Amino acid sequence: MPEGFALDFERPILELEKKIAEMKALSGSSRIELDDEIQRLEKKVEKLRLEIYSSLTRWQRVQLARHPDRPYTLDYIRRIFTDFVELHGDRAYSDDAAIVCGFAGFGDRSVLIVGHQKGRGTKDNLYRNFGMPNPEGYRKSKRLMELAARFERPIISFIDTPGAYPGLGAEERGQAEAIARNLFVMANLPVPIVAVVIGEGGSGGALAISVADRILMLENSIYSVISPEGCASILYRDSAEAPRAAEAMRVTAPDLLELGLVNEVIPEPLGGAHRDPDTAANSVRAALEKTLQELSVISIKELTKQRHQRYFQAGRWDKQKA
């Protein structure tokens, strides 16, 4: 586990791993035999890791989804795709680094990739606007998705944002209109679209690039109309009640699979994707290959029809059970 950051519930594991590393260093630089003790501690840490990560609360999964060491869109692009060429600009105002777009190779296919991108460290986060897109980011993605449709290229989107940027400049430049336009365009694009929630899927900022034929979620990602803190501020008048709100909102991947709002939960390495990004990327690759293969045999007319039906049916409820 990286030493730079650890969640509260991860600290017992981190402390044991640090102790094991120290003992291995001591054993290697002296004649002291510590193999038995090291093996005992390694078994203990594996047991502790299994106990902690097999019984995570919803709030703990929210924290994992936001983990700063978690792989971001560009990390998955580097591990899964080939010959990625990033394209920039909305041809109206500017480029937005909070959304990356470009064409790449995926097996024997050429695909368009669209994804939110957070930063690492203060400077990069300011450049990426903490993964919160401005209107020009959504207009850039719309421009390139229409280009992908023209050349009959499938679209893969990676979702990881707290939400669209709510600043004054973004509102003045038409944030709501840009999001709404994306929803309309994506609903009717004549190519397969697959969305993968890799971290946070927050509000309209996430939905703006996730109107898809299939929505996949990593095991420790979240997808919601509002953050638990925002919900707690409204319902309980206290953002500190976020853990309580997270339980009520059912924002986790298993919850949304049960509700029928997503199609598949992609398993993560024990401890989260940040502990083993390569294994996490391999799982995402396998899920994408399977999903694109399934979508490739469906006619475009039927595909868009099913896409419309998917969203028309979302959120239905039974009066008799209400």
Identify the CATH number of the domain in which residue 228 sits.
3.90.226.10
The answer to whether residues 49 and 66 belong to one domain is no
Q: Residue 31's pLDDT is what?
A: 55
The whole-number average pLDDT for the span 281-289 is 97
How high is the pLDDT of residue 1?
A: 40
Mean pLDDT of the chain: 91
41 and 68 inside one domain: no
Identify whether residues 49 and 161 lie together within a single domain. Answer: no
Please give the average per-residue pLDDT across 139-154, as a whole number.
97
Which residue reads 């054993």 in tokens? 27
Share of the chain above pLDDT 90, in %: 75
| 148 and 18 within one domain | no
Q: Could you give the CA distance from residue 211 to residue 207 in angstroms, rounded to a whole number?
A: 6
Give 213-233 pLDDT, tens digit per residue.
999 999 999 999 999 999 999
Helix (H) or strand (E) holding 116: strand 109-116
Output the pLDDT for position 318.
62
Q: What does the pLDDT read at residue 33?
A: 65
- pTM of the full predicted structure? 0.89
Instruction: Report phi then psi at 314, rounded to 5.
Output: -65, 130
Confidence of residue 314 (pLDDT cuts 50, 70, 90): confident
DSSP lists the bridge partners of residue 151 as none
212 Cα distance to chain centroid: 15
pLDDT for position 48: 83
User: Is 103 inside any structural domain?
Assistant: yes
* Residue-range definition of the domain harbouring residue 255: 62-313
Q: Is residue 301 part of a domain?
A: yes
Residues 46 and 180 in one domain: no
Give how far Cα 207 sits from Cα of 104, 195, 248, 290, Å: 23, 10, 21, 23
Is the domain of 228 the same as that of 206?
Answer: yes
What does the pLDDT read at residue 14?
A: 79
Number of domains in the chain: 2
- CA-CA-CA-CA dihedral for 219, 313, 227, 267, to nearest 10: 0
pLDDT recorded at residue 2: 41
- pLDDT tens column, 22-80: 777 776 655 566 777 778 887 888 888 888 888 899 999 999 999 999 999 999 999 99
* 217/294 same-domain check: yes
What pLDDT, on the 0 to 100 scale, is given for residue 317? 62
Q: Which residue has the higher pLDDT, 27 or 4?
A: 27
13 shares a domain with 104: no
Q: Mark whether 93 and 37 lie in a shared domain.
A: no
Token pair recorded at residue 188 = 């009717």
In this structure, the answer to whether residues 185 and 37 fall within a common structural domain is: no
Q: Is residue 318 part of a domain?
A: no
**Does residue 46 lie in a domain region?**
yes
Residue pair 192/303 in contact (Cβ under 8 Å)? The answer is yes
In a domain, 300, yes or no: yes
- Pull the structure tokens for residue 24: 């291995």
137 with 41, same domain: the answer is no
Residue scoring higher pLDDT (100 or 258): 100
Asked whether residue 266 falls in the same domain as residue 226, the answer is yes
Is position 72 within any domain?
yes
- Identify whether 320 is part of a domain: no
Segment 164-184 mean pLDDT: 95
Q: Is residue 177 part of a domain?
A: yes
